[in-house]
Amino acid sequence: MHGPVDRLQRGNRIGRSRFAAGEVWLADVTLRVHMGSSTVFLMYHELERPGRPLCQTEPGYVRYILSEADFREHVKSLAARGWHGWSVGQALQGVPSAGVVITFDDGCETDLLMAAPLLREHGMNATFYVTTGFVGKAGYLSVQQVRELHGLGFEIGCHSKTHPYLSDVDTERLRDEVAGAKGQLEQWLGARIEHFSCPGGRYDARVQAAVRDAGYTSMTTSRNQANGVSTDRFELGRVAVLRGTGADGFEKLSAGRGLWRLNLGDEIRRTAKRALGNSMYDRVRGALLGEGK
Ligand SMILES: [Zn+2]
């Protein structure tokens, strides 16, 4: 908890409140230099191998599914640049060299069968956010496989119990999805679970408070932004890596180039969700993506 991020935050607060103007300036410069090297958190889901059925098949799901071959190219692209793949926990403690944070949502079996071997081959880490209610279902990790992933040194995070939009559920259900799922994972692994990711990227202040109260130390969203020293640890951005993202697109994404354009799209979607509500928004989106054809 005493990595460069914490030190800089403390330095900057002290600079603002207690020291002379020159030192405030110095703290601000330091902050800006660090922000210049802010880290992109990447969000993956299930991986696809020819002939192997996916966990779900609707277009809204499949657009987040990459082929195993594309993911292999991404890992090779990082390695060729001398970049590292970090877990969320490592990044929050301050990382010593260039890299990205690699995360997987949902807890699909391909986390262990396809992603883990490729990451290990290149000495990279990652955080796998598991949905506890999916564990043991066809195509998802079993309890034993979650333990295996953890035993290999990867970080296990929580992605709720049943994957609802958390901003839509009542207080009791929210606690069960956030704190209940944490307790279940901790019981399975005999280890502390510190990081949470929001299903469907949906959250609000109430969700943030529930995650904080449950004892997590971070929460990731699906906001297209890199994370730096000033980013709220309970509102960390993550960039979705979409189906068909090849080596060129990946290089741009991992370096955080073009995120402003994605951010603009986010803003438009957020406005639409607010205006329509989550369920109507999903119906409209499904129609636009050709669901039901
Ligand atoms: Zn999910």
Averages of pLDDT over each 10 residues, the chain, 293 residues: 37 32 36 56 97 94 96 96 95 87 98 98 97 98 98 98 97 98 98 97 96 98 89 95 93 83 69 76 72 46
The span from the CA of 180 to the CA of 196, in Å, is 12
Give how far Cα 76 sits from Cα of 8, 73, 97, Å: 32, 5, 17
CA of 31 relative to ligand 1 center, distance in Å: 33
CA of 33 relative to ligand 1 center, distance in Å: 34
What is the pLDDT at residue 92?
A: 93
What is the pLDDT at residue 256?
A: 86
CA of 200 relative to ligand 1 center, distance in Å: 6
What is the pLDDT at residue 261?
A: 65
CA of 130 relative to ligand 1 center, distance in Å: 9
What is the pLDDT at residue 282?
A: 79
The span from the CA of 275 to the CA of 271, in Å, is 6
What is the pLDDT at residue 257?
A: 81
Please provide the average confidence, as pLDDT, over all residues in the chain: 85
CA of 183 relative to ligand 1 center, distance in Å: 19
CA of 30 relative to ligand 1 center, distance in Å: 36
CA of 26 relative to ligand 1 center, distance in Å: 42
What is the pLDDT at residue 290?
A: 63
The span from the CA of 180 to the CA of 160, in Å, is 8
CA of 2 relative to ligand 1 center, distance in Å: 31
pTM: 0.81
Name the residue with tokens 């049943």. Answer: 162
Contact 161, 134 (CB under 8 A): no
CA of 196 relative to ligand 1 center, distance in Å: 11
Strand 47-48 relative to strand 99-104, pairing? unpaired
Question: Cα Rg for the chain, rounded, in angstroms?
Answer: 19
CA of 135 relative to ligand 1 center, distance in Å: 13
Strand 195-197 relative to strand 218-220, pairing? parallel
What is the pLDDT at residue 52?
A: 95
The span from the CA of 152 to the CA of 137, in Å, is 22
CA of 82 relative to ligand 1 center, distance in Å: 30
The span from the CA of 98 to the CA of 193, in Å, is 26
CA of 51 relative to ligand 1 center, distance in Å: 23
